[in-house]
Structure formats: C-alpha cells, structure tokens
Amino acid sequence: MPYQAPIKDMLFVMNELANLQAVSELPGCEDATPETAEAVLEESAKFVAGEIAPLNHEGDKEPSYWTKDGVITTKGFKEAFRQFADAGWQGLQHPTEYGGQGLPKLVGTPCVEMLHGANLAFALCPLLSDGAIEALLTAGSDEQKATYLEPLVTGKWTGTMNLTEPQAGSDLAAVRTRAEPQGDGTYKIFGTKIFITYGDHDMTDNIVHLVLARTPDAPAGVKGISLFIVPKFMVNADGSLGARNDAHCVSIEHKLGIKASPTAVLQFGDNGGAIGTLVGEENRGLEYMFIMMNAARFGVGMQGIGLSEHAYQHALAYAKDRVQSRDLTGSPSGVAIINHPDVRRLLMNMRSQTEAARALAYVGAALYDAAHHSADAEVRAENQAVYEYLVPVIKGWSTELSQDVTRDGVQIHGGMGFIEETGAAQHYRDSKILTIYEGTTAIQANDLIGRKTVRDAGKVAKGLIAQVRATEAELAKLEGADFAAIRKHLSQGAADLEAVVDYVVANIKADIKGVFSGSVPYLKLAGIVLGGWQMARAAVISQQKLDAGDGDASFYKAKIATTRFFADHFLTQSSGIRTSVIEGSAGVLALDIEQF
C-alpha cells in the first residue's frame, strides 16, 4: 500500500498548534517560515512516496543479509540512501557549517515522520546517524568534528550507537567492553556489542561506531563508562579512508519485524584491537550517550506515529474498497466495509490516536527549538524542562499506541490481514520493536517518574496541567454537544493526571516499589491527557476557523469529530488508570516469586 504523507494535518499541527511562526522568529531559525516549511514538506513527501515507500514491503520480503564480507542490504536500499543523502535530507536539522540545512526541529520532525511512515527499516539508519551527530556536536573535539561531522551530516557515512552487550541489556552499569590507552591518544577497544542497528551495511563506504567502553582504572558502574569513536575504516588526514579497523559484524539477528534493518553483533578487537578515540572526557560516556539517546527517543516516538499513519492509510484504503455484507440500515446489496460501525470505530481509533500523538510530538519539537534558540536563557530553560518531561511520553505513548493501531489495521483487513502479502501484518510486526529499543516503555516511565516528576516535585507536570485548564476555559466558550463532551472528559483527565502526579511525588520515598508499579499507567495517562489536550486545542481552533469561514471546512469539521471521538474513547479511560495507579500497587506486588 503506497504511503502518502498527511501534509494537510502536519501543516495544521505545525502552524496552529506548535506555532511555527513563533519558531521562525527565533534567532537562527529565520529561514523556517511557514512558506518554506510547506515547500520542504511537499518535497519530502514526494521523495519518500517515490523512492522510499516502495521499498518497504520489499525489505520485509527480502531482508538484509549477512556475508563474511559484510551485510548486504535489501535491493534498492543502497541507491535510495544515496538519493536521500544527495538531496540533503540527512542534514535537515543539522548545522550548515557541516553541510546541513540548519532547519529547526519543528520543520525536521514532519520529514522524519514521513520517512519512518514510508519505511521504518530504512529510516532507522538516518535516525542513528542523527544521534551520533548530536553527540559529536556536543562533546566531540575539534579534530573529531572536522573528521566525522560533514560525512555524517551529508550522509556520506552513517553512525551507530553501541551500548548493549550480551550480559547487559538496558543495564549500562554492566558494560564490560574495554578501552586500553595506547599512549598516542588512541585506544584499543575489546568487546562484544549486540543489537547494533545498521551495525554493518553496504549503503556507505564507512560507518562511525560510537561505543561505550571502560578504561583500565574506571570506577565500577555507570560512572566508569567512556564514549569512543570507532570507525569501520580508519580515516586519513585528508579525509580519505585508510585501513580496515578491527570491528566486525559476526552475525545479524532473525527478527519479528524491521527485517531490512540489519541488527548486528559487532566484535571489537578480535584481531589485536579496534582503534578508537575518546569522545569528550573519560567516564562521562553515559552523559554523552544520553544526548544520542534522547534524540533517538524522540525519533522512535516519530516512528510510532509514522507507522500508525501508514497502517491507518492501508486499512482505510481496504475499508473503502472491500465490499461485504449489507448496510445495517438496509441496502440492496453489499457495501464497502467502511460503512459498518465497528470498522468505522477501528478506523477512528487509528486516526484519532495518530493525530493526537502527532500533535503532542510536534508541540514537543517546538519546545526543543525554543530551548535551543531563544535569546532568553530563562525561556530556554523553561522550554527545555517541558521538552524533557514530554520526551518519555512521546516515546513511550506513541509507540505503545502504534501497537494498538497496527493491530486494529490487521483486524480491519479480516482474514486478508493475516496473509503476509497484504502487508498489514508487516506493520503489526514492525511495531513491536518500538516499545523496546532506545529504552523500553518501563524505562521511559521510570525516567518520567524519577527525573521528570519527582526531581522537581511535579512542577513541570503541574505547569502543563494548568495549560490544560486554560484550554478547558476556551472549550467552555463554545456551544454544542461535541465541545461539552470534549470539555467534560478533558477536565476529568486533567484532574486524574494531577491526582497521579501528587500521588507520585507524595509516595516515592515511603513506597518506591508501589509508585513504580504504576509507572507505565502514569505514562499512558499523561499521553492520553496531553494528547487529548492538543486535540482539544485543535478542535477549538477548528471551530474558530469555521466561524470565520476560513479555509477547508471539511477538514476542520473532521478535526472536531476526531477530537470528540478521542475524548469519548480515550480520555474516558483516565479515571480507571488513576485508580489503577493510586490504588493498584498492592495487587502488582502481592505475590512472592515462588507463588508465580
């Protein structure tokens, strides 16, 4: 099923909810006018629909594969990546001095969503490069920047993140890979890394591995981890490629989904040691890794949204096309299944969650831009704090809901959905990694509780809730059953979220396990309420546009109806989740391990 970027909704969210105009007035963002943004989105949409989306199902049928000379990617990927790089898409959000376009995150984000929507497995490679670029921009030496940034930003090379080891999944304290200083400023790296996305491939001449390892005298735990650059091929002073480094892909995984994306086991130092250079300071690797990780977490959230959109389009096309059974109100013969109420409900599930998650993520992107570009340090800090609160929600909630959405997509297809050639099943399989990599949903939820809620005693969360209340006041001014329902459920949602935030802050010390047993439900509640809030804002603005006779009335009416659906079917879950979090830890923790 061909994917088409939902440009209309993207532009609506950028302009009306995320205030692109304000972003384009930030220092350094002046080029990102709404007109430019629209042109960029249209170009990106054309590119992904033409070049990237057609490879999505191909990559599932003919995955990338391992050979002793390296991984061969799915036919067509190499050429597509070359086009992607040559057109400048890798550098969209990166500095112009390294060959990027220097556009704000708010403009880059829809393009990223499109790329993921078109082809998750392909888009992972640029996502990882983005993380490597961010880390080097922040912590790289001048020489490292000079050597690696332009090739990464222009897509000449790609980047990887090497965290996981066989004995240490999410637990970086357990990292064992060694880095031995050679006295010449370089280190020899020894160890095994697993689950390395695009850890090897044939799309570019070189790969820049960023690797967590321990120096000989490093303290135990996460405070003794350093970050190293370990290129696949050494780089000569003139930028040309030198000797093959001792970093080899020994196998790739046979996975449930994203099959075109090679997931490598990388062996460092089996033949004398892989040569690496230290990034930033020794023992601060975790901090730098989090720079990559946070960029990647937002990106994985966009994967969830892009994939949900694709699954929705796929199911929608089928629902309009497939004729089966008469209409409930009577019809002379069978009707397209979109006329059947439960198919309609499933489609609205898919649509409303995708739109809500998109709205929240783009608003997050605008916060990031203000945090990075505002002239006022206080404004920067405020926006950064809110952005950081939202990152685990955007990552965790958007990816969890993508599993609901892709499941609904298969369901709409009926028996055909279970047949692989239909393609709906691929979305369902692909989605399952999104709640796992770059930190499972539980890890996002731990972050939401620990660093994002408890540390400031709920201040940022309460600030967001106050903004939700302001939207409630706007809703109160509007007439009709839709706005009354939206307001009622949003109001209850805000009260429920506030109660949960208060509970978390008040009980974390006395009952840490009890509080953390509600971490994922809290994250889900935050997603529903804050996503619902953005939908409510969208509905208010849509009504204002309708009242003013301004623009596409059908679009605005659909937005209001979709918000109404989201309120009735998702915001209504808030009180149950609140009870589960606040009263539900006893049942979670009651059993002894032997009783399981």
Return the residues of window 379-418 that contact a second copy according to CB under 8 A.
Answer: 403, 407, 410-411, 414-418
Q: What is the DSSP string of 118-180?
A: H-HHHHHHHHHHHHHHHHHHHH--HHHIIIIIHHHHTTSSEEEEE--BTTBSS-GGG---EEE
Pairwise CA distance, residues 69 & 200, whole Å: 10
- Toward a second copy, which CB reaches closer, 66 or 233? 66
- Toward a second copy, which CB reaches closer, 93 or 441? 441
The tokens describing 211, both together, are: 């690797």
Within residues 428-447, the interface with a second copy by CB under 8 A covers 428-429, 432-433, 435-437, 440-442, 445-446
Contact 461/453 with Cβ under 8 angstroms?
Answer: yes
Cβ at position 316, least distance to a second copy in Å? 6
Contact 171/259 with Cβ under 8 angstroms?
Answer: no
- Toward a second copy, which CB reaches closer, 19 or 575? 575
Cβ at position 563, least distance to a second copy in Å? 8
Within residues 274-303, the interface with a second copy by CB under 8 A covers none
Residues 6+ apart with CB under 8 A from 101: 88, 91, 92, 93, 94
Cβ at position 489, least distance to a second copy in Å? 8
Mask: binding to a second copy, 200-219, rule CB under 8 A, as x and -?
Answer: --------------------
Which is nearest to 147 in space by CA: 244, 249, 242? 242
Instruction: Give pairs for 444-448: CB < 8 Å, separation 24+.
Output: 444/297, 444/392, 444/393, 444/395, 444/396, 444/523, 445/392, 445/396, 445/519, 445/520, 445/522, 445/523, 446/516, 446/519, 447/391, 447/392, 448/389, 448/392, 448/393, 448/396, 448/519, 448/522, 448/523, 448/526
> Which part of the chain contacts a second copy (CB under 8 A), choosing from 283-291, 355-363, 542-550, 573-581?
573-581
Question: Would residue 472 show up in a list of annotated catalytic residues for this protein?
Answer: no
Pairwise CA distance, residues 266 & 194, whole Å: 6
Mask: binding to a second copy, 145-184, rule CB under 8 A, as x and -?
Answer: -------------------x---xxxx-xx----------
- Toward a second copy, which CB reaches closer, 106 or 315? 315
Q: Give bridge partners of residue 241 from the DSSP assignment.
A: 235
Tell whether residue 343 is a contact of a second copy (CB under 8 A).
yes
Cβ at position 257, least distance to a second copy in Å? 7
User: Given 16, 134, 165, 438, which residue is catalytic?
Assistant: 438
Tell whether residue 321 is a contact of a second copy (CB under 8 A).
no
Contact 423/57 with Cβ under 8 angstroms?
Answer: yes
> Which part of the chain contacts a second copy (CB under 8 A), choosing from 270-278, 357-365, 460-468, 481-489?
481-489
Tell whether residue 119 is a contact of a second copy (CB under 8 A).
no
Cα–Cα distance list, 569 to 346, 565, 583 (Å):
11, 6, 23
Cβ at position 384, least distance to a second copy in Å? 27
Within residues 502-531, the interface with a second copy by CB under 8 A covers 512-514, 516-517, 519-520
Tell whether residue 43 is a contact of a second copy (CB under 8 A).
no
Q: Cα–chain-centroid distance for residue 303?
A: 5
Which of 203, 347, 460, 475 touches a second copy by CB under 8 A? 347
> Which part of the chain contacts a second copy (CB under 8 A), choosing from 107-115, 364-372, 535-543, 586-594?
586-594
Within residues 538-557, the interface with a second copy by CB under 8 A covers 554, 557
Catalytic positions are: 438
